[in-house]
Amino acid sequence: LGWRMGRRYVLGIESTAHTFAVAIVDDKLNVISDVRDVVRSGETLGIDPKLTAEHHANVAPQVLEKALNEAGMDITDIDAVAYSMGPGLGPALRIGATVARAIAHKFKKPLYPVHHGIGHIELTSTLLGFKDPLVVIVSGGHTSILSFNLGRWRTYGETLDITLGNLMDMFARKIGIPFPGGPKIEEIARKGRKYIEMPYGIKGNNMVYSGLLTYAIQLIGRTSVEDIAYSLQETAFTVLVEATERALTQVSKKEIGLTGGVASNDRLYNMMCSMAREHGVKVGRLEKKYNSDNGVQIAVVGMLYMKSGYAPVPVEEAVIKQRIRVEEVEIPWR
Ligand code: ATP
């Protein structure tokens, strides 16, 4: 155990949606272990909250054990436990929170509830080494432009209806592609040649995507699916990049951190880079595995809480909040 002397460790549990994950990080934010188990959507194409929770409950013991084994640690070696408190699917969130509370109670460990979006934000800025970025979260749960101001991450633009991830997944479902549809749509869009004009929804720094989805669905069968996917991506991403540019001029940051599952899309990344270059701003994103849900982002935020001396939450107050917004969360470490 010599190598472990003086080090502190946080175990993070993620269960907001499709992924049940456990990770351990040390106080230098090194990843010691990172284990995930993603629910298969099967024939239904979408995410069923009840089936997802059943999946998480079934895999939780193995995922936890594997994370400890990978780290060569015993649960008693952990200094604190963090879990994603929301936003997300209630039944799925409850599994992660229950496991976290059980560990905290039985082994007398400090417990930190973590906002899932802040997990995306802090992991991205930490690993990219961005000190004060504008953050763009694009996933199934979020499509938001955020900046840190007066002690909290604040929203400077967001979708007014569906998220960018939902847009991709819902269109994909209509052409028979199961969840998650985004990666496959990216592939199909690469073969598109003709740009079809589509409804372009932006209000201030906010995006509107449902009209675009309806329009794209109505085109199915009337023109090539490659051209629809291509035009859908071009339109949806242009709206996001334009909203980001508007936000950027308001907060004047020098870095943009792109995160969430859709950040893995190369076309989106390149469009964001072209816009940022004009403003002398740097864009960064993490490798794919850290864009989608994982336990590392939760453990990292737990470690940031612990290192900043923030009071842990008593087990009986460690709840889940399905609709919690980033603004509701105090950030003691920035
Ligand atoms: P959140 O993290 O906000 O809770 P989430 O649970 O949906 O949302 P993620 O794993 O971050 O979590 O994102 C999944 C989404 O990312 C899905 O909608 C998926 O289709 C989309 N996605 C993944 N890869 C790509 C890609 N290459 N292009 C477009 N979309 C993608």
285-328 pLDDT, tens digit per residue, is: 999 999 999 999 999 999 999 999 999 999 999 999 999 999 99
| Residues in contact with ligand 1 (CB, 6 Å cut-off) | 16-18, 88, 116, 139-142, 165, 168-169, 180-183, 186, 260-262, 264-265, 292-293
Reply yes or no on whether the pLDDT at 40 is more than 90.
Answer: no
- Give distance in angstroms: CA of 260 to centre of ligand 1: 6
pLDDT at site 41: 67
pLDDT at site 2: 45
Q: Which residue's CA is the nearest one to ligand 1's atom 14?
A: 261
Reply yes or no on whether the pLDDT at 147 is more than 80.
Answer: yes
Q: Tell me if 189 sits within 8 A of 233, measured CB to CB.
A: yes
pLDDT tens digits, residue range 64-73?
999 999 999 9
pLDDT at site 179: 87
Ligand 1, atom nearest to 142 Cα:
3
Q: Per-residue pLDDT averaged across 122-134, rounded?
A: 97
Is the pTM for the entire model greater than 0.85?
yes
pLDDT at site 4: 65
Q: Per-residue pLDDT averaged across 280-284, rounded?
A: 98
- Give distance in angstroms: CA of 263 to centre of ligand 1: 8
- Give distance in angstroms: CA of 149 to centre of ligand 1: 26
Contacts of 258 (CB under 8 A, 6+ apart): 124, 136, 138, 268, 269, 272, 283, 284, 285
pLDDT tens digits, residue range 210-223?
999 999 999 999 99
Q: Tell me if 229 sits within 8 A of 185, measured CB to CB.
A: yes
> Closest by alpha carbon to 82, among 14, 151, 19?
14
Alpha-carbon radius of gyration of the chain? 20
Ligand 1, atom nearest to 16 Cα:
4
Reply yes or no on whether the pLDDT at 259 is more than 70.
Answer: yes
Q: Tell me if 189 sits within 8 A of 226, measured CB to CB.
A: yes
- Give distance in angstroms: CA of 228 to centre of ligand 1: 20
Residue 2: half-sphere exposure toward Cβ, Cα within 13 Å:
0
Q: How confident is the model at residue 1 (pLDDT cuts 50, 70, 90)?
A: very low
Tokens 């905290």 belong to which residue?
104
Maximal C-alpha separation, the chain: 67
- Give distance in angstroms: CA of 189 to centre of ligand 1: 17
Collapsed DSSP state (helix, strand, coil) of residue 241: helix
Reply yes or no on whether the pLDDT at 46 is more than 70.
Answer: no
